[in-house]
Amino acid sequence: MPTQKEAVKSVAPGDVASKVYVPPGKHDEFYVFFSGGFSGQVSVYGIPSGRIIKVIKVFSVDPETGYGFTPETKPMLMTSHGFIPWDDAHHPWLSQTNGEQDGRWLFINANNVPRIARIDLSTFETTEIIEIPNSAGNHPSPYGTENTEYVVAGTRFSVPIPQKDVPIDSYKENFKGTISFIKANEPGKMDVAFQILMPGFNYDLARCGRGPSHGWCFFTSYNTEQAHTLLEINASKNDKDYIAAINWKRAEECVAQGKYQEMPATYYHNYYDEEKHMAVSEVKKSVKVINPKDCQGVAYFLPTPKSPHGVDVSDDGEYIVGGGKLATVIPIHSFSKMLKAIEQKAFEKEIDGIPVLKYDAVLHCELEKPCLGPLHTEFDGKGFAYTSCFVSSEIIKYDYKGCKVVDRAPTYYSIGHLLVMGGDTKKPYGKYAIAMNKITKDRSLPVGPELLQSAQLYDISGEKMQLIHEFFTVGEPHYAQGILADKIKDKVKKIYELEKNKHPYAVKSEKDARVERKGNEVHVYMTMIRSHFTPDNIEGIKVGDTVYFHVTNLEQDWDIPHGFVIKGSEDAEILVMPGQTKTLVWKPKAPGIYPFYCTDFCSALHQEMQGYVRVSPAGSNAPLKYYTGTAQK
Amino acid sequence: MKKGLLLIAVALVFSCQQKPAEEAPKTETPPAPVEKKEEAISDKGIGPITEVKLGPIDQALAKKGKEIFDSKCASCHKLEEKYVGPPLKGVTQRRKPEWIMNMILNPSEMVQKDPIAKGLLAEYPTQMPFQNVSQEDARAILEYLRSVDEGK
Ligand SMILES: [Cu+2]
């Protein structure tokens, strides 16, 4: 690891400032989506400036907006394990058409309770989440296919399938892996199309082919030793582990021919209806599982040194780079050689019905002495690959056809993944690479024991990579994807149109604002506009009531949300976007007067945007009464 | 006691960048060539509407206008009383129809540049929002306000 002195020296000559300076009022050239890791969310930055422009709520509840607290959004976080308020989000993946980014959706995986989310890039809101059955630790995910036909999932942790109560040391006998293909190209219709039953290894990362290799997806595995304890040592014994090559077009044939088992499984599919401003959950009850023994040609193993992490396919679809994190070489496989080896049955052996191809028969070349701890690779479209190296803290640039390193650049420190703009597409933009560093000590002002992770921006347009910028990120980004701003910016929504608001409790006009009692439930149909609520005085609420404040923001102007919260609320506030309806549920516990107010500074009279609820004792005869200003009802 | 609405004149004025509507103005006759002199701000206001030809009140249009008004304007404007914004009874006699439509369609620029609108912002400090109304909708609202003023 470079010393601090070296780091300071490397800090860039003065001319780099102009490369990253985006003057106030001007926009960046790229959107970059960073996974939040243990924050469970996604953060969006403008590049090259490194300015944060959004945090997208995905797998974790969000007290700023009420995501995961309101009845409208709680269903998004439902799983077969119940309501889960958090997850560990690792890999964002931007949807593609013909192998190029199309700017429609961003997908991201949840690692802990296996799920994949879809984020709509017209609203930057999470609109769909599907749970993955027969899985544990959804790490090699979502990495989709060339036309977003599928996003994929795999088990980092093998487990009994179906789940059962067995001794852990019966691992070899009872534990299995799965690789799943989830239909992704229709919003609201995500579905586990099929799963492939795999040996009980740990499946780590994935990439799908493009161009000639479209129809295949590749998954790294480690722990082919099938250890179940002290993996640090016991899973690092074999010289080679495997890249699993899955032929999903073949899997589709097998499904069509009935060569699968319909296995009982319970998992959730949650969908946010943007017109109703409301999420719904459906529970699925079975899944199609393909056993490779019954579907010849669906899966092959490519031996790959040693505990590989990344598996990355070049922009032309021909080369498959393994990130052998404990290996002394970077193995580069050839897709066309792989097809030939399959045709010639150049097999070493078979594991659970899956042929293991001969290493030499699929290998294009080994990049010798690349660096220490190679992890993950992306491509610039000009014949160069860029691999992050965790142990030696650097990025190496190499000619992957000629198998020759041409440049290396230090990172500060311990880089995990990297990103090249568009580096997993048929047409990378190149231009910039970003290092996502795991260790940040001494790179920022000290802020106690916990530090943010850093991102370092490299100009890769020339022969030599040049570090030009550094900024700090939210959560722990494991990966990021960048897209030309032009592919998204003009289709981003500014408001929700009131006319299209089909929320069952929406009120679109102040004159319809009202309060209704149904037994112990009180529904407040409330409106908000700069700078008052209607109604803003409510009486006749009693202890023991459950009060639903259904609040519609009547504004139709960009960037004018209003917030709503009431004293003693046990949930987060709600932040309601223009034209949107959200609900805050409140159970008053004692008689008295309770103020509510707008939390978002909305106008000169924002501080006047407030109201009162009077709560009377349980069983009292207090009649319902509500009004705003002189318009007493 | 009736709780009146207190309007406190606050020196702070918030405005947001508001692009004028992008469509070409819809007028009954082709727009006459307008002289683009910055200094000569007309009493038609600033915005996409340069000329409106008025005929007898179109009752159907006025009815549609009332519906839009109730949903998108009534939260802040009453007819007879000062509220968040000024009372609107008589507005079609006080202002040109073009001014009214431009205020609906282009409020941010109006309060920055139009002398009358500027004065109103000083009196009613909540910036009037653009409520995502089309030129057709604004025309309907105008018809409703005319029908109120003509007592029809
Ligand atoms: Cu407000």
Q: Do the chains contact at B5 and A630, CB–CB below 8 Å?
A: yes
Note the pLDDT of residue A91. Answer: 98
Give the length of chain B. Answer: 152
CA of A493 to the centre of ligand 1 (A): 20
Average pLDDT over every residue of A230-246 = 92
What is the rounded distance in angstroms from the CA atom of residue A223 to the CA atom of residue A306?
Answer: 10
The DSSP H or E segment spanning A329 is strand A329-334
Contacts of A510 in chain B (CB under 8 A): 70, 74-75
Compare all CA atoms of chain A with the CA of B7 and give the residue at the minimum distance: A605
Cβ of residue B19 closer than 8 Å to a chain A Cβ: no
| Residue A367 pLDDT > 60 | yes
pLDDT confidence band for B41 (50 / 70 / 90): low
Compare all CA atoms of chain B with the CA of A510 and give the residue at the minimum distance: B75
| Residue B20 pLDDT > 50 | no
Which residues fall within 8 angstroms of residue A223, CB to CB, at 6 or more apart?
A: A201, A202, A231, A235, A241, A307
What is the rounded distance in angstroms from the CA atom of residue A220 to the CA atom of residue A235?
Answer: 14
What is the rounded distance in angstroms from the CA atom of residue A70 to the CA atom of residue A586?
Answer: 11
Determine the distance in angstroms separating the CA of A496 from the nearest CA of chain B, rounded to an integer: 10
Cβ of residue B16 closer than 8 Å to a chain A Cβ: yes
Taking only the tens place, the pLDDT of each residue in A472-490 is 999 999 999 999 999 999 9
- A 506-565 residues inside an 8 A Cβ radius of B: 508-511, 527, 529-532, 534, 554-560
Note the pLDDT of residue A13. Answer: 60
Average pLDDT over every residue of A113-129 = 98
| Residue A2 pLDDT > 50 | no
Amino acid occupying residue B84: V
Cβ of residue A603 closer than 8 Å to a chain B Cβ: yes
User: What is the percentage of chain A residues whose pLDDT exceeds 70?
Assistant: 97
Task: Give the pair of three-digit tokens for residue A264.
Answer: 């009982």
Compare all CA atoms of chain B with the CA of A552 and give the residue at the minimum distance: B71
Determine the distance in angstroms separating the CA of A507 from the nearest CA of chain B, rounded to an integer: 9
Q: Do the chains contact at A604 and B83, CB–CB below 8 Å?
A: no
Compare all CA atoms of chain B with the CA of A530 and give the residue at the minimum distance: B126
Compare all CA atoms of chain A with the CA of B8 and give the residue at the minimum distance: A605
Contacts of A531 in chain B (CB under 8 A): 84, 126
What is the rounded distance in angstroms from the CA atom of residue B10 to the CA atom of residue A604?
Answer: 7
| Residue B37 pLDDT > 60 | no
Determine the distance in angstroms separating the CA of A150 from the nearest CA of chain B, rounded to an integer: 38
CA dist A256 to A213, A247, A260, A354, A556, Å? 22, 15, 9, 21, 49
| Residue A8 pLDDT > 80 | no
Amino acid occupying residue A324: G
Determine the distance in angstroms separating the CA of B127 from the nearest CA of chain A, rounded to an integer: 7
Compare all CA atoms of chain A with the CA of B134 and give the residue at the minimum distance: A556
CA of B75 to the centre of ligand 1 (A): 13
Q: Do the chains contact at B84 and A559, CB–CB below 8 Å?
A: no
Averaged confidence pLDDT in chain B? 80
A7, with CB counted inside 10 A (0-12, 13-18, 19+), is middle
The DSSP H or E segment spanning A540 is strand A537-542
DSSP assignment string, B95-134: S-HHHHHHHHH-HHHHHHH-HHHHHHHHHS-SPPPP----
Nearest to A124 by CA among A63, A58, A68: A58
What is the rounded distance in angstroms from the CA atom of residue A21 to the CA atom of residue A47?
Answer: 10
pLDDT confidence band for A504 (50 / 70 / 90): very high
| Residue A163 pLDDT > 90 | yes
pLDDT confidence band for A558 (50 / 70 / 90): very high
Taking only the tens place, the pLDDT of each residue in A314-365 is 999 999 999 988 888 999 999 999 999 999 999 999 999 999 999 999 999 9
Cβ of residue B4 closer than 8 Å to a chain A Cβ: yes
Q: Nearest by CB to B126, from A498, A531, A554: name it.
A: A531
Q: Are the C-beta atoms of residues A531 and A608 closer than 8 Å to each other?
A: yes
Contacts of B125 in chain A (CB under 8 A): 603-605
pLDDT confidence band for B33 (50 / 70 / 90): low
| Residue B39 pLDDT > 50 | no
A45-58 CB burial, b ≥16 within 10 A, e <16: bbbbbbeeeebbbb
Average pLDDT over every residue of B97-111 = 95
Contacts of B7 in chain A (CB under 8 A): 605
Note the pLDDT of residue B152. Answer: 67
pTM confidence score: 0.90
Q: Do the chains contact at B4 and A630, CB–CB below 8 Å?
A: yes
- B 37-66 residues inside an 8 A Cβ radius of A: none
Contacts of B76 in chain A (CB under 8 A): 529-530
pLDDT confidence band for A10 (50 / 70 / 90): low
Taking only the tens place, the pLDDT of each residue in A373-385 is 999 999 999 999 9
Compare all CA atoms of chain A with the CA of B130 and give the residue at the minimum distance: A557
Q: How many CB pairs under 8 A join A and B?
A: 78
User: What is the percentage of chain A residues whose pLDDT exceeds 90?
Assistant: 92
Note the pLDDT of residue B131. Answer: 92
Cβ of residue B3 closer than 8 Å to a chain A Cβ: yes
Task: Give the pair of three-digit tokens for residue A249.
Answer: 């077009």
Contacts of A552 in chain B (CB under 8 A): none
pLDDT confidence band for B11 (50 / 70 / 90): very low
Q: Nearest by CB to B71, from A508, A530, A531: name it.
A: A508
Which of B8, B131, B137 to probe the A interface (max A CBs under 10 A)?
Answer: B131
pLDDT confidence band for A603 (50 / 70 / 90): confident
Cβ of residue B18 closer than 8 Å to a chain A Cβ: yes
| Residue B126 pLDDT > 90 | no
Q: Do the chains contact at A534 and B75, CB–CB below 8 Å?
A: yes
Q: Do the chains contact at B16 and A554, CB–CB below 8 Å?
A: no
pLDDT confidence band for B1 (50 / 70 / 90): very low
Averaged confidence pLDDT in chain A? 95
Note the pLDDT of residue A12. Answer: 59
- B 125-144 residues inside an 8 A Cβ radius of A: 125-127, 129-133
| Residue B25 pLDDT > 60 | no
Determine the distance in angstroms separating the CA of A525 from the nearest CA of chain B, rounded to an integer: 14
Cβ of residue A608 closer than 8 Å to a chain B Cβ: yes
Note the pLDDT of residue B81. Answer: 87
What is the rounded distance in angstroms from the CA atom of residue A201 to the CA atom of residue A257?
Answer: 28
Note the pLDDT of residue A48. Answer: 98
Q: Do the chains contact at A629 and B5, CB–CB below 8 Å?
A: yes
CA of A533 to the centre of ligand 1 (A): 9
Average pLDDT over every residue of A624-632 = 80
Contacts of A557 in chain B (CB under 8 A): 16, 18, 129-132
Which of A27, A501, A507, A510 to probe the B interface (max B CBs under 10 A)?
Answer: A510
Contacts of B84 in chain A (CB under 8 A): 529-532
Q: Do the chains contact at B75 and A527, CB–CB below 8 Å?
A: yes
Amino acid occupying residue A192: V
Compare all CA atoms of chain B with the CA of A526 and give the residue at the minimum distance: B75
CA of B122 to the centre of ligand 1 (A): 20
Contacts of B14 in chain A (CB under 8 A): 603-604
Task: Give the pair of three-digit tokens for residue A397.
Answer: 């640039």
| Residue A14 pLDDT > 90 | no
Determine the distance in angstroms separating the CA of A124 from the nearest CA of chain B, rounded to an integer: 21
Taking only the tens place, the pLDDT of each residue in A264-313 is 999 999 999 999 999 999 999 999 999 999 999 999 999 999 899 999 99
Q: Do the chains contact at A604 and B13, CB–CB below 8 Å?
A: yes
